[in-house]
Amino acid sequence: MAALAEEQTEVAVKLEPEGPPTLLPPQTGDSAGEGGGGTTNNGPNGGGGNVAASSSAGGDGGTPKPSVAVSAVAPAGAAPVPAAAPEAGAPHDRQTLLAVLQFLRQSNLREAEEALRREARLLEEAVAGSGAPGEADGAGAETASALLSRVTASAPGPAAPDPPVSGASGSAAVSGLATGPAAPGKVGSVAVEDQPDVSAVLSAYNQQGDPTMYEEYYSGLKHFIECSLDCHRAELSQLFYPLFVHMYLELVYNQHENEAKSFFEKFHGDQECYYQDDLRVLSSLTKKEHMKGNETMLDFRTSKFVLRISRDSYQLLKRHLQEKQNNQIWNIVQEHLYIDIFDGMPRSKQQIDAMVGSLAGEAKREANKSKVFFGLLKEPEIEVPLDDEDEEGENEEGKPKKKKPKKDSIGSKSKKQDPNAPPQNRIPLPELKDSDKLDKIMNMKETTKRVRLGPDCLPSICFYTFLNAYQGLTAVDVTDDSSLIAGGFADSTVRVWSVTPKKLRSVKQAADLSLIDKESDDVLERIMDEKTASELKILYGHSGPVYGASFSPDRNYLLSSSEDGTVRLWSLQTFTCLVGYKGHNYPVWDTQFSPYGYYFVSGGHDRVARLWATDHYQPLRIFAGHLADVNCTRFHPNSNYVATGSADRTVRLWDVLNGNCVRIFTGHKGPIHSLTFSPNGRFLATGATDGRVLLWDIGHGLMVGELKGHSDTVCSLRFSRDGEILASGSMDNTVRLWDAIKAFEDLETDDFTTATGHINLPENSQELLLGTYMTKSTPVVHLHFTRRNLVLAAGAYSPQ
Amino acid sequence: MAEEKKLKLSNTVLPSESMKVVAESMGIAQIQEETCQLLTDEVSYRIKEIAQDALKFMHMGKRQKLTTSDIDYALKLKNVEPLYGFHAQEFIPFRFASGGGRELYFYEEKEVDLSDIINTPLPRVPLDVCLKAPKEQQKAEATEPLKSAKPGQEEDGPLKGKGQGATPADGKGKEKKAPPLLEGAPLRLKPRSIHELSVEQQLYYKEITEACVGSCEAKRAEALQSIATDPGLYQMLPRFSTFISEGVRVNVVQNNLALLIYLMRMVKALMDNPTLYLEKYVHELIPAVMTCIVSRQLCLRPDVDNHWALRDFAARLVAQICKHFSTTTNNIQSRITKTFTKSWVDEKTPWTTRYGSIAGLAELGHDVIKTLILPRLQQEGERIRGVLDGPVLSNIDRIGADHVQSLLLKHCAPVLAKLRPPPDNQDAYRAEFGSLGPLLCSHVVKARAQAALQAQQVNRTTLTITQPRPTLTLSQAPQPGPRTPGLLKVPGSIALPVQTLVSARAAAPPQPSPPPTKFIVMSSSSSASSTQQVLSLSTSAPGSGSTTTSPVTTTVPSVQPIVKLVSTATSAPPSTAPSGPGSVQKYIVVSLPPTGEGKGGPTSHPSPAPPPTSAPSPLGVSALCGGKLEAGESPPPAPGTPKANGSQPPGCGSPPPAP
């Protein structure tokens, strides 16, 4: 069933094949079913930005399904534009129909509503003719567009025979709404609009069981599972939590408050400790009214909880439930759970524990099967004249030409095409400017002086402390060449420091600029206003705490994202704000420039990550699918992918090209607050509030390591330049260094592991820990490796 | 699965009274209990919801404390107007009061007098944010490991990994883990560990030290032999070193000459042990040895006891130490030289110390003699004459002056013989060297004659005989004691005909000897006691020279110690190689030059000596004999020892190529 929302809501905007070197903002939905009429409704103040929520390929068959480009409704409640209703000629009819349906329901005229709906669907199918009638109920709901399902509250296609409000098919409607939380629920920012969603969602709970029996059901199952064979017990135990949640919610929905409370009291202690946060939310939720607008609850309802269970265990469970005639539980299993059955040995408790913990269970195995080009792009060759210049520079410094062969070797290495690398022009990248080339040369020079790190040669750490920050430091970034540090503060300012003797200067005023001799050699020097030189520049513009900051690779721009819902682009030449990117209507937690510049990604409380280009005021891509806030966003070194870490305890990897989610990593037990790619692009390290750092193999889509040691949120992660060392900084005021080479050394990437996704984590994270360095009382907010592999760390001193 | 740890999820709700209070404050007087109940449930839920959102802001703000602004932002998320005005950085400004069974939180609002506020001076403006990093690290190049942060450089506690010095007042900052992980090599301190000696080692140590300072000469010889040869003493080295330095300290005060001699012999033995490397302990040994050289009084009866021999012996030790351990960084040699010169130049220095200083300097080699001693000969001569010819003041002074004179003559003559062209004129000497001139002249003449004689046949140097002393006993002991002194004191050994260096390793790979790295240099004129032996060797050499294996047997009878040792060694398969002696642990190669060549100068060996396997070298008459006679020099001495002569061809330093 359409459990995972990302499959529907990803923005499937294809690149214009012969477009300019940019990802164009969506203009037409690409779905086959519609002519594109009426989809070009990108009103500039459409609030949510235009999500071209086109149909993703269905689970089976892959037949083109009727899809609807949804314009997220403007906050003011402007009339929803019925974008591309299947009926070619009659969009207005449809709109009317929907309005009538809405009215009928609000008036509690159920029968009339049902009748009309049935008719409407028939009509719809008749007209559209592309309704993929043969779909299994699991995949069907994917066709539902947000708008449609919001109104109809029922899956259009698959569940046709069933009365829509009844239990089983209701679930289809629910899952159809998977788009709900991500796109309309947040993007369309008005809370009132959620309500139809909610009631639709909740209708799934209408099925009535005897409330007093719930405890009995649950303890019966518990008894069964605890008495089952050891090998099955661990797997079947995964059922406890989702069943507990859904049974509780059913009780609450059906207004059995006391039963619900006692049920919760009785069984919440059985749940794994990492679900504590969710349980806390649940515990406060005791009335049906509360369920409206509760996001956590919506997450449970809109996404199926995914369990991976071996076939044997599943059969065992099925037999048990059928024997007992335990329909209540069986219904929940059928409707709210997605059981990913595999053949073979049941997994051990350790294997399961490593992978579970996310809000919606584990990732489905298929979710991580697609091919990811994790290799690095070919480095552009630097032209000879520049190289000569560089050589002269070397000679001037009195250093002989011994560097030459080394540099050649670097060059030759980069000429080799990585088999895992994406095609060079898979996404258009900006052309290298001369200054970029100079910077690359500088980088190479520095590289030759780089310290080779290893367990025996640990890097030095230089800690930049923000004093008198009054707990207001919320974000830090350091330029790649380690010359500038930017800090985002809770008082809405962004401050940029120069940490080299070179002071920050802004460009002269226009009047003064006109006086400059433009032919002179040092024109770049002359345009700078010496009077403005200072070590610190403060950028004013945001109206809320600045949660994210990122320098552009060429050090000309700075991005900042803030609670006020904007991402701002600042010029480091003039130290003024150039653009405010509006799109997230809620706090933007993180933003980052692409390693090649031009693009950037942002993610926020609205549960989506957006891809932008600096010269477009609207996002090029919207990566939707997370079930909770997107806390951190990072570009893959080859700029073709974006990783996002979320409060739903999953990490997702998105393809920039088509907006698809290509990896879902589950295993964290707390919201993810930091991400970093290894320099070779093969691995991803993620840190969460649970203090653990997990390592992932992107190519195989597997967890490959777990680093335990921190006692608080891991705020920052960074690999050394050659990837030998992983540094992690945490709220527990420590920096820890880990042996990355050893961690990745003996990977279990045999076919079996890859095929099944069963991982056996080595229990040696303490051996990988190379060093722990404490600050006195400074949470480590940011880490950075200089080009020579010196670690820079930053944080604000917070007196206790 | 059931986690044993029970979660603490309390479902707290607001009391319904507060709803009533709130309602009343808004002017709604009568509110039903049922309504209150509903309201509290709802309000509690909403408050929890907001608190959970506020937590999110706290986390994203990288803080560990929830602030009022977090709540404002959470309200804003819900499209609720934030509660403006509740700003507090550090705490939530509610006060708690209780009484009469009621608990109350209230917002403290004092009445303040405006004029007070206006009249009080303005508070200090809070400091602005600043960025701080250890200064030196900002400039630091990453190619070099960073120095430790200066203490206090970073106020809030730098990362402790970087500098032990940087521990701020707050000791919490200590690293949790012991730092084998510190990056900066210069900062890496080895953990202080105490090396425990095993019981056997303790017993051994006790036995050895007792024997070394005991009364039984035989035992002592054995003990010293053990120190000089046994491998694996390094763990006891610190103890030995302390034993010696403490022993010298005590016995100098007590003027116990015998014990001082014994201790010096221990030093010698330690130095001779090739498995020990004394550099780490030189700082303890040098003061002890120096004390034995220059101390004003070393014995109870200075007029009778021969403390001069001890001074000579210790001086040789210091010279040896210099040679082995002096480097450009520790400057041992120059420091020692300075010490000696200072005490010699001093007018008031007693004759004993004077003697020691001169002896110490003289042992350091010809160059030192030439630059430091010769220029002062005239002055020193006057002083000696003043004592010897003047009125008899003190017998002790007279003896001292006498010894100094003979010492000067002994050391300077060979040097002068080399420096000055042959016609030795008494008057010229007198003019140059004052009262010592004539004596010097005669000595130089003698030295020349001797050199010539030596060139013709291996010959005892005159100077060796002149030494009546305990050294004699030392040299008779069948252990290395005599050897190096013999070599060292051969400034006269300009005449030293040939020195051959043989690398046992290169020579006889198949040999089973465990420490194959010994180089033994034997000079024919090494010492008085060995002269005999050498002579016998040289006679036997021609005979044995033709066959490779026979030397052992032929030489065996000639020298006692050799016999013994060789016989033990031959139990090992000597036949494995053509070199019978190959099986022996150590070799002594004595090669004698063809008579004619000696004259060519002591400086050069005609050719590199052949390896012992091919001992009968066509180039020189080599005698090969195995034996443990020499405890052996550690590898470096081989090239080093010849330097005593200042003129050893470098070719000898390396194992000779096969002819």
Question: What digits encode the pLDDT tens for the residues A134-178?
Answer: 333 333 333 333 333 333 333 333 333 333 333 333 333 333 333
- pLDDT at residue A421 in the model: 85
Is B167 touching A (CB cutoff 8 A)?
no
What pLDDT score does A364 carry?
A: 80
Q: How many angstroms separate the CA atoms of B497 and B454, rounded?
A: 8
Residue type present at position B233: L
Mind listing the pLDDT tens digit for each residue in A756-771? 666 666 666 788 888 8
Q: Report pLDDT for A545.
A: 93
Which residue in chain A has the smallest CA separation from B58? A474
Name the minimum distance, in Å, from the CA of B154 to any CA of chain A: 8
The CA distance from B160 to B175, in Å, is 6
pLDDT tens-place string over residues A635-647: 999 999 999 999 9
Q: For A774, which of B62, B131, B176 is closest by C-beta distance? A: B176
Q: What letter represents residue B482's amino acid?
A: P
Q: Is A272's pLDDT higher than 50?
A: yes
Looking at the complex, report in whole angstroms how far the Cα of residue A468 sits from the nearest Cα belonging to chain B.
5
Q: Which residue has the higher pLDDT, B318 or A415?
A: B318
- B148-182 residue pLDDT tens: 333 333 333 333 333 333 333 333 333 333 333 33
User: What is the mean pLDDT of the segment spanning A323-332?
Assistant: 77
Local confidence band at A444 (pLDDT 50, 70, 90 cut-offs): confident
The answer to whether B156 contacts chain A (CB < 8 Å) is: yes
- Spell out which residues of chain B touch residue A778, defining contact as CB-CB under 8 Å: 156-157
Residue in the structure block whose two tokens are 């006269």:
B492
Q: Which residues in B lie closer than 8 A to residue A790 (C-beta atoms)?
A: 140, 142, 146
Per-residue model confidence (pLDDT) at position B385: 82
Task: Please compute the mean of the pLDDT values over residues A320-339 and round it to a whole number.
Answer: 80
**Tokens representing residue B317 in the block:** 């030790």
Instruction: Using the predicted structure, report yes or no on whether residue A402 has a pLDDT greater than 60.
Output: no
Check residue A531 and give its pLDDT.
85
CB distance B11–A283 less than 8 Å?
yes
DSSP secondary structure letters along A347-388: PPHHHHHHH--STTBSPPGGGG-S----SPPPPPPPPHHHHH
Asked if B156 lies within 8 A of A465 by C-beta distance, the reply is yes
Residues of chain B with Cβ-Cβ distance to A536 below 8 Å are 131
Mean pLDDT across chain A, nearest whole number? Answer: 73
Contact B131 A487 (CB under 8 A): yes
Res. A549: pLDDT tops 90: yes
Q: Is the pLDDT of residue A634 over 90?
A: yes
Among the partner-chain residues B127, B173, B177, the one whose CB lies closest to the CB of A776 is B173
Go through B617-642 and write b for each residue having 16 or more CB atoms within 10 A of its CB, e for each that does not: bebbbbbbbbbbbbbbbbeebbbbbb
- Cβ distance B181 to A771 less than 8 Å, yes or no, reads yes
CB of B115 less than 8 A from some CB of A = no
What does DSSP assign to residue B145?
Answer: P
Residue A36: name the closest of A21, A54, A16, A60 by CA.
A54
Contacting residues of A for B44, CB less than 8 Å apart: 284
How buried is B81 (Cβ within 10 angstroms: 0-12 exposed, 13-18 middle, 19+ buried)?
exposed
Q: Is A707 helix (H, G, I), strand (E, B) or coil?
A: strand
Residue with tokens 């949660």: A547
Chain A environment of B157 (Cβ under 8 Å): 774-778
Please tell me the predicted confidence (pLDDT) of residue A393. 41
Give chain B's end-to-end CA distance (angstroms, integer).
84
- pLDDT score recorded for residue A563: 92
User: Which pLDDT score is estimated for B398?
Assistant: 82
Above pLDDT 90, what percent of chain A?
24
Q: How far is B156 from chain A (nearest CA, A)?
A: 6
Query: Which of B159, B164, B182 to mutate to probe the A interface, most A CBs <10 Å?
Result: B159
For residues A606 and A87, the model is more confident at A606
Convert B377-413 to b/e letters by CB count within 10 Å (16 or more is b): bbebbebbeebeeeeeeeeebbbbbebbbbbbbbbbb
CB contact at 8 A, A47 and A75: yes
Nearest CB partner across the interface for B45, out of A290, A460, A788: A290
| pLDDT over 50 (residue A494) | yes
The rounded distance, in Å, linking the Cα atoms of A456 and A453 is 8
Q: Of B270, B278, B282, whose CA–CA distance to B226 is shortest?
A: B270
Domains of chain A: 209-361 (1.25.40.500), 459-498+537-748+765-793 (2.130.10.10)
- Asked if pLDDT for residue A316 goes beyond 70, the answer is yes
Phi, psi of A514, deg, nearest 5 = -65, -20
pLDDT means over runs of 10, chain B (659 residues): 47 79 82 85 86 90 85 88 70 72 74 84 81 56 34 36 35 34 41 69 87 86 87 83 89 86 89 83 87 84 81 90 82 86 83 88 85 83 80 77 85 82 77 80 83 65 39 38 38 39 40 43 41 38 39 38 36 42 42 42 42 40 39 39 40 40
| Chain A positions in Cβ-Cβ contact with residue B6 (cut-off 8 Å) | 269
CA B92 centroid distance within chain:
63
Q: Which residues contact B539 (CB under 8 A, 6 or more apart)?
A: none
ipTM of the complex: 0.73
| Helical (H) or strand (E) element with A278 | helix A276-284
Cβ of B162 within 8 Å of Cβ of A497? The answer is no
Q: Round to whole Å and give the CA distance between A393 and B355.
A: 64
Q: DSSP letter string over A206-263? A: G----TTHHHHHHHHHHHHHHHS-HHHHHHHHTTHHHHHHHHHHHHHHTT-HHHHHHH
Q: Say what the pTM is.
A: 0.55
- Whether the CB of B105 is below 8 Å from some CB of chain A: the reply is no
Q: How far is B192 from chain A (nearest CA, A)?
A: 21
Taking the Cβ of residue B69 and every Cβ of chain A, the question of whether any pair is shorter than 8 Å is answered with yes
Return the beta strands (E) in A630-776 as ranges.
630-635, 641-646, 650-655, 661-666, 672-677, 683-688, 693-697, 702-707, 714-719, 725-730, 734-739, 769-774
